[in-house]
């Protein structure tokens, strides 16, 4: 077997996965196999520019379908698996947790078992170079008081929501499979991402699109919850670096160094929109007048803050965008890409694309 040139990515039709695929295809010569079952969160339009790229293919497959995942691994012989597929929205996990347990916990289990069987067929040096990179979140650490130190890689897990508990479970499975079955893994835990192609149920795109439509801008509680924000393209760069250069068995925290309260984020979007989209919907004097405080989310975490010193020191990664520059790019992108989000809002993005990727 020659040098392995393929990366299998799960969840590549989602927000972060599609950014990662765009990044890898633009900076490397790897082939990409994108395993994505296209849930409501998967959007083929986010990768429409690559549907005829011979280095890229999409396999519409559930990560719980272990048998077919194994067949794919045997067929494509990936050098890396980068596992992002997950149910990712905290509010949905509170309303109906079962799909989170199935995909995030059992799906990761099936990916690990498929990998274990695949590795039995790989010989050195290919086996030696193989990595299973698991993508996780800072939410596994629970929350922080306003004066607490930031999360490090050694912070004990203390998840609060069904979403974060399911991600914490999957992280434990990955570490256990690494130790017991010697699967070479790396794990990353990242803070809140924002940027282009973000599904409009999440705070930043929701606020941009509601404002453009003159609709209320809902803010949970008093809006004082603090999150650390990272521009998605910076995350994609960090993920590719960790997959290709990270040390086996290590965990790397990834954050933007941008702690902001939710109300600060919403006010900043309103300010940028005043400048970039001054023509407002009828009856709207200032975008910020649309802000509406709504009943808080149950169990809502107060603060997340992540210390990225390790990945900065060990792998030389640091974010290129500040919160301000990234947010401006994001708002600009939504203003210039109406078709993408209009298809999401109308539901048309769920129609199978003819002549698209397989
Ligand atoms: P997303 O919801 O935008 O995308 C998830 C993708 O996974 C979708 O394309 C969906 O179709 C696919 N998928 C879901 N269930 C599947 C299944 N059973 N089989 C195959 N495909 C399936 O998510 P995202 O925001 O891009 O997050 C990606 C990963 O990063 C997740 O693991 C998430 O926990 C983690 N993460 C996200 C953030 C964030 O701010 N968005 C922050 C830290 C970590």
* Digit-coded pLDDT (tens) for 260-304: 999 999 999 999 999 999 999 999 999 999 999 999 988 888 999
List residues bridging with 7 in a β-sheet. Answer: 32, 80
Question: Buried b / exposed e across 42-76, counting CB within 10 Å, b at 16+?
Answer: bbbbbbeebeeeeebbbbebbbbbbeebbebbeeb
What local confidence, expressed as pLDDT, does residue 357 receive?
36
What local confidence, expressed as pLDDT, does residue 51 receive?
87
The pairing of strands 80-83 and 6-10 is: parallel
Catalytic residue among 62, 70, 87, 138: 138
In angstroms, the Cα distances linking 280 to 19, 50, 183, 276, 288 are 30, 35, 54, 11, 12
Distance 87 CA to ligand 1 centre (A): 6
* Digit-coded pLDDT (tens) for 322-343: 999 999 999 999 999 999 999 9
139 is catalytic: yes
The pairing of strands 192-194 and 185-190 is: unpaired
Q: Is the CB of 244 under 6 A from ligand 1?
A: no
Largest CA distance in the chain: 67
**DSSP label at 138?**
G
Q: Both ends of the chain: CA-CA distance in Å?
A: 26
Catalytic residue among 36, 45, 139, 321: 139
CB 269 within 8 A of CB 204: yes
Q: Which pLDDT band, with edges at 50, 70 and 90, does 353 fall under?
A: low
- Ligand 1: which residue has its CA nearest to atom 13? 85
Q: Which pLDDT band, with edges at 50, 70 and 90, does 12 fall under?
A: very high
Distance 123 CA to ligand 1 centre (A): 31
149 is catalytic: no
The pairing of strands 6-10 and 31-35 is: parallel
Distance 285 CA to ligand 1 centre (A): 37
In angstroms, the Cα distances linking 157 to 170, 278, 337 are 12, 45, 39
What local confidence, expressed as pLDDT, does residue 358 receive?
34
Say which range, 1-5, 25-29, 349-353, has the weakest mean pLDDT. 349-353
* Digit-coded pLDDT (tens) for 125-151: 889 999 999 999 999 999 999 899 999
Average pLDDT score over the chain:
95
**Does the pLDDT at position 2 exceed 90?**
no
Ligand 1 atom, smallest distance to 12 CA: 9
Ligand 1 atom, smallest distance to 199 CA: 3
Ligand 1 atom, smallest distance to 107 CA: 18
* Digit-coded pLDDT (tens) for 214-244: 999 999 999 999 999 999 999 999 999 999 9
Please give the residue that has the higher pLDDT: either 101 or 145: 101
What local confidence, expressed as pLDDT, does residue 299 receive?
86
Q: Is the CB of 13 under 6 A from ligand 1?
A: yes
- The angle at the Cα of 202, spanning 201 to 203, to the nearest 5 degrees, equals 120
113 is catalytic: no
Catalytic residue among 30, 56, 163, 231: 163
Ligand 1 atom, smallest distance to 198 CA: 3
What local confidence, expressed as pLDDT, does residue 352 receive?
65
């Amino acid at each position: 077997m020659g040098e392995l040139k393929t990366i299998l990515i799960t969840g590549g039709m989602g927000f972060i996965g599609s950014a990662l695929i765009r990044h890898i295809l633009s900076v490397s010569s790897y082939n990409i196999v994108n395993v994505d079952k296209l849930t409501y969160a998967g959007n083929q339009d986010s990768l429409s520019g690559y549907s005829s790229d011979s280095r890229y293919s999409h396999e519409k497959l559930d990560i719980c379908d272990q048998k077919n995942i194994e067949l794919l691994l045997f067929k494509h012989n990936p050098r890396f698996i980068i596992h992002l597929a997950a149910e990712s929205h905290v509010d949905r996990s509170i309303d109906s947790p079962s799909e989170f347990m199935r995909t995030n916990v059992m799906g990761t289990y099936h990916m690990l078992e498929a990998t274990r069987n695949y590795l039995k067929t790989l010989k050195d040096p290919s086996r030696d170079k193989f990595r299973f990179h698991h993508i996780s979140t800072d939410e596994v650490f629970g929350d922080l008081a306003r004066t607490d130190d930031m999360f490090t890689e050694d912070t004990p897990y203390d998840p609060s929501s069904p979403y974060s508990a399911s991600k914490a479970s999957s992280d434990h499975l990955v570490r256990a499979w690494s130790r017991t079955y010697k699967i070479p893994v790396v794990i990353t835990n990242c803070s809140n991402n924002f940027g282009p192609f973000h599904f409009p149920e999440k705070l930043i795109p929701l606020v941009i699109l509601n404002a453009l439509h003159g609709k209320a801008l809902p803010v949970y509680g008093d809006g004082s919850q603090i999150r650390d924000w990272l521009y998605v393209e910076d995350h994609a760069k960090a993920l590719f670096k960790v997959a290709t250069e990270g040390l086996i068995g290590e965990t790397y925290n990834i954050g933007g160094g941008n702690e902001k309260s939710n109300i600060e984020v919403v006010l900043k979007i309103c300010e940028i929109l005043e400048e970039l989209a001054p023509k407002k919907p009828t009856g709207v004097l200032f975008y910020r007048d649309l802000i509406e405080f709504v009943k808080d989310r149950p169990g809502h975490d107060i603060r997340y803050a992540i210390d990225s010193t390790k990945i900065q020191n060990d792998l030389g990664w640091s974010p290129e965008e500040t919160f301000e520059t990234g947010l401006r790019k994001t708002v600009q992108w939504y203003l210039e890409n109406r078709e993408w989000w209009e298809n999401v809002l109308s539901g048309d993005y769920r129609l199978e694309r003819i002549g698209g990727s397989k």
